[in-house]
Chain A
Amino acid sequence: MPGDPNLPNPHRRNFLRGSAGVAIAPFAVRAARAEIPALDASEDARALTAVGMTVNGQRRRLSVDARTSLLDALRDQAGLTGAKKGCDQGQCGACTVHVDRRRILSCLMFAVASDGADITTIEGLAGEDGALHPMQASFIDQDAFQCGFCTPGQILSAVACVKEGHAETEADIREYMSGNLCRCAAYPNIVAAIRQAKPLMEG
């Protein structure tokens, strides 16, 4: 529901604040859990830290610089280049992935903060037999992209948008998909794709 502080609020006008909050919140929570040693001033932020996570159903161990974003860790270390770097500062949504079943801007999350997390990227959305997720199939049917650069982020956001219950009306979809920019402006087709996929996801 709009205004729920626990959910991403992708409305552009408070998007920055909203999404930064989303990214930083799990970091704080996890740091508090003391699963990773907190960094103090004497410690070298450039030293590598081992993190373990589940990515698309597979356990991964990565060794990351404390400054590495989850986006760069996924792209450069895990070899999953589906998530894109459109701005690297939480303003475009191209890097959207699911962390513990919630959509997140992976450029705003430190990789060290994803220790223990369950992550889904666009590469993990289709079934193992290669059958497309209904959202992926609907994006093709409704021609919901042109260049395709924003598309992985749009699709992951769209899946979350439906699961959050924010796809009841077209106006809702537009509002809750406004954190994912598309310069090719496939917006109306993205809305149509989500409307097509929603009953298939729920059915």
Chain B
Amino acid sequence: MSGHETALRELPLIGRGHARYDGRAKVTGRAQFAADVVVADPIHAFLLLSTIPRGRIDRIKTDRALVLPGVIDILTHENAPALAAPVSQAAGSATNHQPLIDPDIVFDGQVIGVVLAENFETAREAAALVDIHYVKQPAAVTLDSPGAVTERWSEINQNFEDLEVGDAEKALAEAPVTIDATYHMQSQVHNAMEPFPTTVLWDGDDLIVHEPSQYVVGLQRGVARQLGIDPSRVRIISPYIGGGFGSKLSLTPRTAILAALARKHRRPVKLVATRSQGFTLSTYRGESRHRIRLGATPDGKLTAFAHEAWEMCSRFGAYASASTDLTADMYAAPSILTRVNIVRTDRTTPGFMRGPGEMPYMFALETAMDELAYRLEMDPVELRRLNEPARSPIDGSRFTSRSLVKCFDEAAERFGWRNRNPVPGANRDGDWLVGYGCAAATFPCFNYGGSATVTLLRSGRARVETAASEIGTGAYTALGQVAAELLDLPIENVEVLLGDSLLPPTAPAGGSMQTASTVPAIRLACERIVSRLGNRMPALADLGAAFDRLGTLSIQETAQYAAFDGKNANGGRAVLSTPDGDEPIAIASYGAQFVEVRINARTKELRVPRLVGAFAAGRILNERMALAQYRGGMVWGLSSALFEGLAIDPIQSRVTNTNFEEYAIPVNADVQMVEAILVPEEDHEVNPLGVKGIGEIGIVGVAAAVSNAIFHATGKRLRDLPITLDKLF
């Protein structure tokens, strides 16, 4: 690769914590989010969603709404414009349900109409005046509902295989010590603070879409396809995104419908979906159940690992997080048996949500490992050390870097793990029962590749352009910082343009892969710039002379990076081309989570005074952004352990808590000390900069660490998330 010819400086393993590039814009209110965009004379849209989970619309009467002054149009399945069906985006899941094509209701909260009016208040009022009569049918909305249908995921997804290594059933039958336990978690919804706004306008035959997107290029393609126009006619603008967490990765049905309406009425259309509507407009993390079986010798060596999972899905979609490869790669079990099932229900299709499968699958495994440690009367950290694999237990692949044990050691030390009394229920501080718990974290590396343009001006200013998304991860800062450091410029000299489908395409801000996929392209572009300057970046003061020698005022390079020669976009695995042939490698980040819980012996009030996590994820580009991602992720983990879950009304078969009062997420008072430790890690193979993903691993393992700490505090083993107060009695 040309990278070895040019003398680019090596970046530090942990990059300086420059403050956020977009900090000033964000603290002054100038950062323009999608709903903030002002367009001339917009029509305001308000969505109508179904209020039954299954059945059909018998009659939908809009006359009372249509006569309201200011109402422009009401769209239902009876008069909706024809659109092509949505397809799955390259990034994976789309909310592949197409509304407004028939009277059928296939989930609660399905789009069944759009009201257009001169202002928001009128649109909302008119929506309430639409009279809808349904014919209801019984619905299955949980894993256990009558009518839910279980299917084997490997039979639906041709690219997926369940694992069978050795004879796990036999090994389990013969194992002197076994654990056989089942874990469950309720469905969760991303609930980014910014709901789902969209403003669309036509400029002749060109469509402009202001919509927060974690993948502007995917949204561009998806909308163009539905409208039957060339993608070059669609521009997605999304410079700031008020949180995504996966909810803004997928194409949702709203965008193409609004675009068609804007075309019909020859005016811009603006939608700000409500918080409650946001619960079903995009995807979610579906309810799941996991049966884990472990076989071990009396001294703690695993002899067998079995993991069977059941994940909620819709009737019409095909999505599973299917993370058994991840759990099977964790520990050195000589026999492995896994099986992933989806359970078809009358719900919308789930999809990516921060640590989609990593969070629930690792909750199950890491709680089971704790159960085994207590059964063996062994330190849970030692149990993991003892079962640390040298190579992948699945297929013998080499780990390019794996710092799991180091993460455990560093976090345990900081946490003060060693001095605890391991006996459950034995640690009391006045009225408070105190418990410590730990768990492993991991997240596979995805490699998608990307492209970027870097421009260096004679003045020493530079610009980085790529269609990446800033969802709070610090993309502006990290990408600009890489260019500044490689070109030896002060960071203030670098301008960064993101979030626009006109820019060079790159990986989505999902799967923790955007940075790792984009920085190699930035590096390549910088390398070419430096090579044009004579293979050495001149000092800032000498830059003018160097440009004059070349007779130019600016140098612009666009570079593309294809990860592993484009051979791999899957998580956790890649193939290295070596002189001796192809070598399979295992690529992932690792971490360790430690939690202290305090439970009031009388009231069972539960507090979490401390979360300590240590993570190793290759090169860290910006220390601050990394800490923010890890700590934010850890609070997400806490949230999944104690707070989040959709509440289902079994009689109506509907979700009852579609708002922030009843769908609880942590508030400031719920979060005390959250400490993340960056464990330096060098990896020369995962990509040219050795960058792994950091956005999601922070959430992984926390729920297990919390439930393990609760066991330590109380002797009560809880296997069902969220662990609400009632479960502690």
> Which of A's residues lie within 8 Å of B, judged by CB?
11-12, 15-16, 46, 65, 67-68, 72, 75-76, 79-89, 91-92, 94, 121-123, 125-126, 132, 136-137, 139-141, 143, 145-152, 155, 173-175, 177-191
Contact = CB atoms under 8 A, between A and B. Distances in A.
Contacts of B159: none
Contacts of B628: 143, 146, 184, 186, 189
A148 B31 contact: yes
Top 7 A-B pairs, shortest CB-CB distance: A82-B29, A149-B242, A147-B472, A148-B26, A146-B472, A185-B635, A81-B36
B272 interface: yes
A181 B29 contact: no
B122 interface: yes
Contacts, number: 186
B237 to A, nearest CB: 15
Contact of A68 (B23, B121, B660): B121
Interface of B: 19-20, 22-33, 35-36, 38, 69-70, 119-122, 125, 191-195, 240-245, 272, 274-275, 470-474, 624, 627-629, 631-632, 635-636, 639, 659-661, 665-674
Summarize B's interface: helix, strand, loop or mixed. Answer: loop
Nearest to B119: A65
Contacts of B31: 148
A136 to B, nearest CB: 4
B472 A148 contact: yes
Contacts of A12: 667, 669
Contacts of A177: 668-669
A92 to B, nearest CB: 5
A148 B474 contact: no
Given A86-B194, A94-B193, A140-B27, A183 B668 contact: no
A11 B643 CA distance: 16
B193 A149 contact: yes
A187 B666 contact: yes
Nearest to B33: A149
Contacts of A145: 20, 26-27, 472
16 contacts: A65-B119, A82-B28, A84-B33, A123-B28, A137-B27, A139-B27, A145-B26, A145-B27, A146-B472, A147-B240, A152-B29, A173-B668, A175-B668, A182-B193, A183-B192, A188-B631
A13 B31 CA distance: 31
A181 to B, nearest CB: 6
Nearest to A185: B635
Given A140-B20, A143-B19, A184 B661 contact: no
B58 to A, nearest CB: 31
Given A91-B660, A121-B29, A151-B27, A140 B19 contact: yes
A89 B659 contact: yes
Contacts of B193: 84, 86, 92, 94, 147, 149-150, 181-184
A191 B274 contact: no
Contacts of A91: 275, 659-661
A190 B668 contact: yes
A180 B471 CA distance: 19
Given A84-B193, A136-B27, A187-B671, A181 B472 contact: no
Contacts of B28: 82, 122-123, 125-126, 132, 136
A81 B38 CA distance: 9
A149 B669 contact: no
Contacts of A175: 668-669
Contacts of A178: 667-670
Contacts of A84: 33, 35, 193-194, 242
A184 B669 contact: no
A181 B659 CA distance: 13
A67 B119 CA distance: 11
Contacts of B25: 148
Contacts of A136: 27-28
A147 B70 CA distance: 35
A149 B192 contact: yes
B669 A81 contact: no
Contacts of B240: 147-148
Most buried by B among A67, A143, A147, A155: A147
A82 B242 CA distance: 12
A84 B30 CA distance: 12
A173 B677 CA distance: 25
Nearest to B124: A67
B434 to A, nearest CB: 19
A148 B471 CA distance: 9
Given A87-B274, A187-B668, 18 more contacts: A11-B669, A46-B121, A84-B194, A85-B35, A86-B275, A87-B195, A87-B275, A88-B275, A92-B275, A147-B470, A148-B242, A174-B668, A181-B660, A184-B193, A187-B666, A188-B671, A189-B628, A190-B668
A173 B672 CA distance: 11
Nearest to A133: B27
Contacts of A150: 193, 242
Contact of A122 (B29, B70, B661, B666): B29
Contacts of B670: 178
